[in-house]
Amino acid sequence: MTTSKARLSFLFITAALDMIGVGLIIPSLPDVVRRFITDEAQVTEYFGYFMSVYALMQFVASPILGALSDLFGRRPILLTSLIMAGIDYLLMAFAPDLTWLFIGRMISGLTGASVTVCMAYVADISDDSNRSNNYGMIGAALGLGFIIGPALGGYLGHFSPQAPFLAAAILNILNFLFGLFVLPESFAKEKRKKPQWRKLNPFSSLKNIFHDPLILSFASVHFLFQLAGMTHPSIWTLYTEHRFGWSSTQVGLSLTLVGLLIAIAQGWLTRIVMPKWGEHKVLIYCAFGNFISFILYGLAYEGWMMYFVILFTSLFFVAQPALQSLATKNIPEHEQGEFQGALVGLTSLASIINPLIISRVFSHFSDQEGLYLPGAPYYLAAMVSFVGWLVIVKSKKI
Protein backbone atom coordinates (compact mmCIF):
# COMPACT_ATOMS: atom_id res chain seq x y z
CA MET A 1 0.00 0.00 0.00
CA THR A 2 1.45 3.36 -1.01
CA THR A 3 1.94 6.06 1.61
CA SER A 4 -0.85 8.15 0.03
CA LYS A 5 -3.36 5.28 0.05
CA ALA A 6 -2.32 4.19 3.54
CA ARG A 7 -2.84 7.60 5.10
CA LEU A 8 -6.19 8.04 3.35
CA SER A 9 -7.21 4.61 4.61
CA PHE A 10 -6.22 5.64 8.13
CA LEU A 11 -8.25 8.86 7.91
CA PHE A 12 -11.25 6.92 6.55
CA ILE A 13 -11.08 4.41 9.41
CA THR A 14 -10.59 7.14 12.03
CA ALA A 15 -13.63 9.10 10.83
CA ALA A 16 -15.70 5.91 10.65
CA LEU A 17 -14.64 4.93 14.18
CA ASP A 18 -15.92 8.26 15.51
CA MET A 19 -19.42 7.38 14.31
CA ILE A 20 -19.10 3.65 15.06
CA GLY A 21 -18.21 4.55 18.64
CA VAL A 22 -21.39 6.61 18.94
CA GLY A 23 -23.71 3.98 17.47
CA LEU A 24 -21.93 0.99 19.00
CA ILE A 25 -22.91 1.70 22.58
CA ILE A 26 -26.39 3.24 22.15
CA PRO A 27 -28.24 -0.12 22.11
CA SER A 28 -26.48 -1.39 25.26
CA LEU A 29 -25.85 1.81 27.27
CA PRO A 30 -29.12 1.48 29.25
CA ASP A 31 -28.07 -2.03 30.35
CA VAL A 32 -24.70 -0.66 31.47
CA VAL A 33 -26.46 2.02 33.54
CA ARG A 34 -28.71 -0.68 35.04
CA ARG A 35 -25.60 -2.27 36.57
CA PHE A 36 -25.71 0.57 39.10
CA ILE A 37 -29.37 1.72 39.11
CA THR A 38 -32.54 -0.35 39.24
CA ASP A 39 -35.13 2.44 39.12
CA GLU A 40 -36.18 2.77 35.47
CA ALA A 41 -37.00 6.48 35.78
CA GLN A 42 -33.44 7.13 36.96
CA VAL A 43 -32.04 4.92 34.19
CA THR A 44 -33.87 7.09 31.66
CA GLU A 45 -32.59 10.32 33.18
CA TYR A 46 -28.99 9.12 33.37
CA PHE A 47 -29.16 7.88 29.80
CA GLY A 48 -30.11 11.44 28.82
CA TYR A 49 -27.18 12.82 30.82
CA PHE A 50 -24.74 10.45 29.12
CA MET A 51 -25.99 11.37 25.66
CA SER A 52 -25.90 15.08 26.44
CA VAL A 53 -22.45 15.18 28.02
CA TYR A 54 -20.95 13.41 25.01
CA ALA A 55 -22.33 16.09 22.68
CA LEU A 56 -21.23 18.85 25.08
CA MET A 57 -17.64 17.62 25.18
CA GLN A 58 -17.53 17.33 21.39
CA PHE A 59 -18.89 20.87 21.11
CA VAL A 60 -16.18 22.21 23.41
CA ALA A 61 -13.34 20.04 22.12
CA SER A 62 -13.69 20.44 18.34
CA PRO A 63 -12.16 23.93 18.06
CA ILE A 64 -9.56 23.14 20.75
CA LEU A 65 -8.30 19.97 19.04
CA GLY A 66 -8.16 21.85 15.75
CA ALA A 67 -6.07 24.59 17.37
CA LEU A 68 -3.76 22.09 19.07
CA SER A 69 -3.17 20.39 15.72
CA ASP A 70 -2.17 23.80 14.30
CA LEU A 71 0.38 24.09 17.10
CA PHE A 72 1.75 20.53 17.42
CA GLY A 73 0.81 18.97 14.08
CA ARG A 74 -2.00 16.66 13.00
CA ARG A 75 -0.28 13.32 13.61
CA PRO A 76 0.26 13.52 17.39
CA ILE A 77 -3.28 14.81 18.04
CA LEU A 78 -4.89 12.07 15.94
CA LEU A 79 -2.81 9.28 17.48
CA THR A 80 -3.31 10.59 21.01
CA SER A 81 -7.08 10.78 20.45
CA LEU A 82 -7.17 7.17 19.27
CA ILE A 83 -5.16 5.67 22.12
CA MET A 84 -7.11 7.73 24.65
CA ALA A 85 -10.37 6.54 23.09
CA GLY A 86 -9.21 2.93 23.34
CA ILE A 87 -8.29 3.30 27.01
CA ASP A 88 -11.49 5.19 27.68
CA TYR A 89 -13.75 2.46 26.25
CA LEU A 90 -11.96 -0.04 28.50
CA LEU A 91 -12.66 2.27 31.43
CA MET A 92 -16.36 2.39 30.58
CA ALA A 93 -16.54 -1.38 30.12
CA PHE A 94 -15.21 -2.00 33.62
CA ALA A 95 -16.36 1.20 35.37
CA PRO A 96 -16.88 0.42 39.09
CA ASP A 97 -19.62 3.03 39.51
CA LEU A 98 -21.65 5.68 37.69
CA THR A 99 -19.11 8.42 38.39
CA TRP A 100 -16.40 6.62 36.46
CA LEU A 101 -18.84 5.75 33.70
CA PHE A 102 -19.76 9.44 33.45
CA ILE A 103 -16.07 10.44 33.35
CA GLY A 104 -15.53 7.88 30.61
CA ARG A 105 -18.40 9.30 28.58
CA MET A 106 -16.88 12.78 28.89
CA ILE A 107 -13.50 11.55 27.65
CA SER A 108 -15.11 9.72 24.73
CA GLY A 109 -16.76 12.99 23.70
CA LEU A 110 -13.39 14.74 23.78
CA THR A 111 -11.62 12.07 21.73
CA GLY A 112 -14.58 11.73 19.35
CA ALA A 113 -14.01 15.34 18.24
CA SER A 114 -10.91 14.16 16.34
CA VAL A 115 -12.87 14.25 13.07
CA THR A 116 -12.08 17.99 13.10
CA VAL A 117 -8.38 17.12 12.88
CA CYS A 118 -9.11 14.56 10.14
CA MET A 119 -10.68 17.37 8.11
CA ALA A 120 -7.61 19.54 8.69
CA TYR A 121 -5.33 16.68 7.56
CA VAL A 122 -7.40 16.30 4.38
CA ALA A 123 -7.01 20.02 3.72
CA ASP A 124 -3.21 19.69 4.10
CA ILE A 125 -2.84 16.89 1.56
CA SER A 126 -5.46 17.95 -1.00
CA ASP A 127 -5.37 20.15 -4.06
CA ASP A 128 -7.97 21.18 -6.65
CA SER A 129 -7.72 17.82 -8.40
CA ASN A 130 -8.69 15.65 -5.41
CA ARG A 131 -10.12 17.92 -2.70
CA SER A 132 -13.80 17.12 -3.29
CA ASN A 133 -13.09 13.38 -3.55
CA ASN A 134 -11.10 13.37 -0.32
CA TYR A 135 -13.77 15.24 1.62
CA GLY A 136 -16.42 12.99 0.09
CA MET A 137 -14.45 10.01 1.41
CA ILE A 138 -14.62 11.41 4.96
CA GLY A 139 -18.37 12.01 4.59
CA ALA A 140 -18.83 8.45 3.37
CA ALA A 141 -16.83 7.16 6.35
CA LEU A 142 -19.09 9.00 8.78
CA GLY A 143 -22.18 7.59 7.07
CA LEU A 144 -20.76 4.07 7.01
CA GLY A 145 -19.86 4.34 10.69
CA PHE A 146 -23.44 5.25 11.57
CA ILE A 147 -24.68 2.19 9.68
CA ILE A 148 -22.15 -0.27 11.15
CA GLY A 149 -22.12 1.04 14.73
CA PRO A 150 -25.70 0.28 15.86
CA ALA A 151 -25.78 -3.11 14.12
CA LEU A 152 -22.49 -4.20 15.68
CA GLY A 153 -23.43 -2.74 19.05
CA GLY A 154 -26.81 -4.44 19.04
CA TYR A 155 -25.28 -7.79 18.11
CA LEU A 156 -22.48 -7.63 20.69
CA GLY A 157 -24.81 -6.27 23.37
CA HIS A 158 -26.72 -9.54 23.08
CA PHE A 159 -23.72 -11.30 24.69
CA SER A 160 -23.02 -8.73 27.43
CA PRO A 161 -23.43 -4.98 28.02
CA GLN A 162 -19.63 -4.65 28.19
CA ALA A 163 -18.95 -6.31 24.83
CA PRO A 164 -19.61 -3.22 22.62
CA PHE A 165 -17.23 -1.15 24.76
CA LEU A 166 -14.51 -3.79 24.48
CA ALA A 167 -15.00 -3.93 20.70
CA ALA A 168 -14.72 -0.13 20.45
CA ALA A 169 -11.53 -0.24 22.54
CA ILE A 170 -9.94 -2.91 20.33
CA LEU A 171 -10.88 -1.07 17.10
CA ASN A 172 -9.39 2.22 18.31
CA ILE A 173 -6.19 0.62 19.59
CA LEU A 174 -5.69 -1.32 16.35
CA ASN A 175 -6.20 1.84 14.32
CA PHE A 176 -3.71 3.64 16.58
CA LEU A 177 -1.11 0.96 15.78
CA PHE A 178 -1.94 1.24 12.06
CA GLY A 179 -1.51 5.02 12.15
CA LEU A 180 1.69 4.76 14.15
CA PHE A 181 3.35 3.09 11.15
CA VAL A 182 1.61 4.61 8.12
CA LEU A 183 0.64 8.18 9.07
CA PRO A 184 3.23 10.87 8.28
CA GLU A 185 2.87 14.43 9.53
CA SER A 186 1.01 16.61 7.02
CA PHE A 187 1.50 20.05 8.58
CA ALA A 188 5.02 21.44 8.24
CA LYS A 189 6.64 22.95 11.35
CA GLU A 190 7.28 26.28 9.63
CA LYS A 191 3.53 26.70 9.07
CA ARG A 192 2.55 26.07 12.66
CA LYS A 193 1.41 28.89 14.91
CA LYS A 194 0.20 29.44 18.42
CA PRO A 195 -3.58 29.43 18.63
CA GLN A 196 -5.49 32.59 19.37
CA TRP A 197 -7.30 31.32 22.42
CA ARG A 198 -10.05 33.91 22.21
CA LYS A 199 -11.13 32.30 18.94
CA LEU A 200 -11.60 28.90 20.60
CA ASN A 201 -14.97 29.84 22.07
CA PRO A 202 -17.32 27.17 20.62
CA PHE A 203 -20.13 29.75 20.56
CA SER A 204 -18.14 32.06 18.26
CA SER A 205 -19.73 30.59 15.14
CA LEU A 206 -23.19 31.40 16.52
CA LYS A 207 -22.85 34.99 17.65
CA ASN A 208 -23.21 36.57 14.22
CA ILE A 209 -26.29 34.71 12.95
CA PHE A 210 -28.56 37.13 14.80
CA HIS A 211 -27.14 40.08 12.84
CA ASP A 212 -28.21 38.74 9.45
CA PRO A 213 -31.95 38.00 8.96
CA LEU A 214 -31.23 35.67 6.04
CA ILE A 215 -28.74 33.52 7.95
CA LEU A 216 -31.04 33.61 10.98
CA SER A 217 -33.97 32.24 8.94
CA PHE A 218 -32.02 29.28 7.59
CA ALA A 219 -30.26 28.64 10.89
CA SER A 220 -33.56 28.65 12.80
CA VAL A 221 -35.05 25.99 10.53
CA HIS A 222 -31.89 23.88 10.76
CA PHE A 223 -31.88 24.08 14.57
CA LEU A 224 -35.55 23.08 14.82
CA PHE A 225 -34.98 20.14 12.44
CA GLN A 226 -31.99 18.97 14.50
CA LEU A 227 -33.72 19.52 17.85
CA ALA A 228 -36.62 17.31 16.76
CA GLY A 229 -34.42 14.75 14.99
CA MET A 230 -32.16 14.21 18.00
CA THR A 231 -35.16 12.62 19.74
CA HIS A 232 -34.28 9.31 18.06
CA PRO A 233 -30.77 8.82 19.48
CA SER A 234 -31.92 10.31 22.79
CA ILE A 235 -34.80 7.92 23.44
CA TRP A 236 -34.97 5.19 20.77
CA THR A 237 -33.36 2.43 22.84
CA LEU A 238 -35.36 3.13 25.99
CA TYR A 239 -38.62 3.73 24.10
CA THR A 240 -38.51 0.52 22.06
CA GLU A 241 -37.37 -1.53 25.06
CA HIS A 242 -40.17 -0.19 27.23
CA ARG A 243 -43.00 -0.23 24.72
CA PHE A 244 -42.20 -3.25 22.53
CA GLY A 245 -39.73 -5.27 24.60
CA TRP A 246 -37.00 -4.99 21.96
CA SER A 247 -33.58 -6.50 22.64
CA SER A 248 -30.32 -4.66 21.98
CA THR A 249 -30.02 -6.64 18.73
CA GLN A 250 -33.41 -5.39 17.49
CA VAL A 251 -32.53 -1.82 18.50
CA GLY A 252 -29.22 -2.02 16.62
CA LEU A 253 -30.80 -3.43 13.46
CA SER A 254 -33.52 -0.76 13.42
CA LEU A 255 -30.94 2.03 13.75
CA THR A 256 -28.87 0.43 10.99
CA LEU A 257 -31.94 0.50 8.74
CA VAL A 258 -32.28 4.22 9.48
CA GLY A 259 -28.65 4.77 8.48
CA LEU A 260 -29.11 2.86 5.21
CA LEU A 261 -32.27 4.79 4.34
CA ILE A 262 -30.55 8.12 5.05
CA ALA A 263 -27.78 7.13 2.63
CA ILE A 264 -30.31 6.08 -0.04
CA ALA A 265 -32.50 9.16 0.39
CA GLN A 266 -29.67 11.69 0.35
CA GLY A 267 -27.63 9.90 -2.30
CA TRP A 268 -30.39 8.87 -4.71
CA LEU A 269 -33.82 10.30 -3.87
CA THR A 270 -32.45 13.86 -3.67
CA ARG A 271 -31.45 13.76 -7.33
CA ILE A 272 -35.01 12.81 -8.32
CA VAL A 273 -37.16 15.14 -6.21
CA MET A 274 -35.06 18.33 -6.34
CA PRO A 275 -35.27 18.88 -10.12
CA LYS A 276 -38.94 17.90 -10.15
CA TRP A 277 -40.30 20.09 -7.33
CA GLY A 278 -37.48 22.47 -6.42
CA GLU A 279 -35.81 22.97 -3.05
CA HIS A 280 -38.47 25.23 -1.53
CA LYS A 281 -41.40 22.86 -2.12
CA VAL A 282 -39.33 19.84 -1.06
CA LEU A 283 -38.43 21.60 2.17
CA ILE A 284 -42.08 22.45 2.91
CA TYR A 285 -43.24 18.90 2.16
CA CYS A 286 -40.44 17.35 4.24
CA ALA A 287 -41.00 19.60 7.24
CA PHE A 288 -44.70 18.72 7.33
CA GLY A 289 -43.91 15.05 6.64
CA ASN A 290 -41.57 14.98 9.64
CA PHE A 291 -44.37 16.43 11.78
CA ILE A 292 -46.65 13.54 10.75
CA SER A 293 -43.84 10.98 11.17
CA PHE A 294 -43.16 11.91 14.78
CA ILE A 295 -46.85 11.60 15.61
CA LEU A 296 -46.87 8.11 14.06
CA TYR A 297 -43.81 7.09 16.12
CA GLY A 298 -45.71 8.12 19.24
CA LEU A 299 -48.91 6.31 18.20
CA ALA A 300 -47.30 2.98 17.24
CA TYR A 301 -48.33 0.23 19.68
CA GLU A 302 -46.68 -2.79 17.99
CA GLY A 303 -42.99 -3.13 17.20
CA TRP A 304 -43.54 -3.98 13.53
CA MET A 305 -45.32 -0.66 13.05
CA MET A 306 -42.07 1.19 13.78
CA TYR A 307 -40.49 -0.25 10.64
CA PHE A 308 -43.32 1.06 8.49
CA VAL A 309 -42.96 4.49 10.09
CA ILE A 310 -39.20 4.38 9.44
CA LEU A 311 -39.85 3.64 5.75
CA PHE A 312 -42.42 6.46 5.59
CA THR A 313 -40.02 8.86 7.34
CA SER A 314 -37.23 8.08 4.87
CA LEU A 315 -39.12 10.04 2.21
CA PHE A 316 -38.33 13.19 4.18
CA PHE A 317 -34.61 12.61 4.78
CA VAL A 318 -33.93 14.94 1.83
CA ALA A 319 -34.89 17.97 3.95
CA GLN A 320 -31.31 18.77 4.96
CA PRO A 321 -29.87 18.67 1.41
CA ALA A 322 -32.78 20.90 0.31
CA LEU A 323 -32.00 23.40 3.06
CA GLN A 324 -28.29 23.37 2.22
CA SER A 325 -29.02 23.89 -1.46
CA LEU A 326 -31.36 26.81 -0.79
CA ALA A 327 -28.79 28.39 1.49
CA THR A 328 -26.07 28.05 -1.14
CA LYS A 329 -28.26 29.84 -3.66
CA ASN A 330 -29.49 32.62 -1.40
CA ILE A 331 -26.70 33.36 1.09
CA PRO A 332 -23.79 35.42 -0.33
CA GLU A 333 -20.57 33.52 -0.93
CA HIS A 334 -18.61 35.54 1.61
CA GLU A 335 -21.10 34.51 4.32
CA GLN A 336 -21.17 30.78 3.51
CA GLY A 337 -18.34 29.91 5.89
CA GLU A 338 -20.09 31.71 8.72
CA PHE A 339 -23.34 29.92 7.90
CA GLN A 340 -21.74 26.46 7.80
CA GLY A 341 -20.00 27.12 11.12
CA ALA A 342 -23.32 28.20 12.62
CA LEU A 343 -24.97 24.95 11.42
CA VAL A 344 -22.28 22.84 13.11
CA GLY A 345 -22.66 24.80 16.33
CA LEU A 346 -26.46 24.57 16.28
CA THR A 347 -26.35 20.82 15.63
CA SER A 348 -24.11 20.43 18.67
CA LEU A 349 -26.44 22.55 20.81
CA ALA A 350 -29.43 20.45 19.72
CA SER A 351 -27.47 17.32 20.65
CA ILE A 352 -26.85 18.75 24.12
CA ILE A 353 -30.33 20.13 24.83
CA ASN A 354 -32.54 17.38 23.41
CA PRO A 355 -31.44 14.43 25.61
CA LEU A 356 -31.86 16.48 28.79
CA ILE A 357 -35.46 17.36 27.90
CA ILE A 358 -36.60 14.24 26.09
CA SER A 359 -35.30 11.77 28.70
CA ARG A 360 -37.20 13.60 31.44
CA VAL A 361 -40.39 13.73 29.36
CA PHE A 362 -40.16 9.99 28.71
CA SER A 363 -39.39 9.25 32.36
CA HIS A 364 -42.44 11.23 33.49
CA PHE A 365 -44.95 9.86 31.00
CA SER A 366 -43.79 6.22 31.05
CA ASP A 367 -44.57 5.94 34.77
CA GLN A 368 -47.77 3.92 34.90
CA GLU A 369 -48.78 5.46 38.23
CA GLY A 370 -49.42 8.85 36.58
CA LEU A 371 -50.60 9.88 33.13
CA TYR A 372 -49.25 7.04 30.97
CA LEU A 373 -48.28 8.44 27.58
CA PRO A 374 -44.97 6.85 26.50
CA GLY A 375 -45.20 8.46 23.05
CA ALA A 376 -44.98 11.94 24.64
CA PRO A 377 -41.34 12.54 23.55
CA TYR A 378 -42.34 12.02 19.93
CA TYR A 379 -45.39 14.26 20.26
CA LEU A 380 -43.07 16.98 21.57
CA ALA A 381 -40.73 16.40 18.61
CA ALA A 382 -43.75 16.69 16.32
CA MET A 383 -44.56 20.10 17.81
CA VAL A 384 -40.99 21.26 17.21
CA SER A 385 -41.17 20.02 13.60
CA PHE A 386 -44.45 21.85 13.13
CA VAL A 387 -42.86 25.11 14.31
CA GLY A 388 -40.08 24.52 11.76
CA TRP A 389 -42.69 24.06 9.05
CA LEU A 390 -44.40 27.31 10.07
CA VAL A 391 -41.09 29.19 9.91
CA ILE A 392 -40.55 27.94 6.36
CA VAL A 393 -44.09 28.78 5.24
CA LYS A 394 -44.12 32.24 6.84
CA SER A 395 -40.56 33.28 6.02
CA LYS A 396 -40.05 35.42 2.95
CA LYS A 397 -36.37 34.57 2.93
CA ILE A 398 -36.50 30.79 2.54
What are the extents of the domains in the chain? Answer: 1-182, 208-398
First to last CA, the chain: 48
CATH number at 208-398: 1.20.1250.20
Residues 6+ apart with CB under 8 A from 56: 109, 352
User: What pLDDT shows up at residue 337?
Assistant: 61
Q: Do domains 1-182 and 208-398 have the same CATH topology?
A: yes
- Scored b (16 or more CB within 10 A) or e, 305-321 reads ebeebbeebbbbbbbbb
Give the integer Cα–Cα distance in Å for 65 and 84. Answer: 14
Structural fold of domain 1-182: Growth Hormone; Chain: A; (1.20.1250)
The rounded distance, in Å, linking the Cα atoms of 307 and 255 is: 10
pLDDT given at position 303: 94
Q: What pLDDT shows up at residue 291? A: 97
Please provide the size of the chain in residues: 398
Show the low-confidence residues of the chain (pLDDT under 70). Answer: 1-3, 113, 128-132, 136, 139, 195-200, 205, 208, 333-338, 340-341, 396-397
CA-closest candidate to residue 13, choices 109, 121, 162: 121
Say which residues have a Cβ less than 8 Å from residue 393's Cβ, sequence separation at least 6: 284
Give residue 105's Cα distance to chain centre.
15
Nearest Cα residue to 297 out of 356, 209, 235: 235
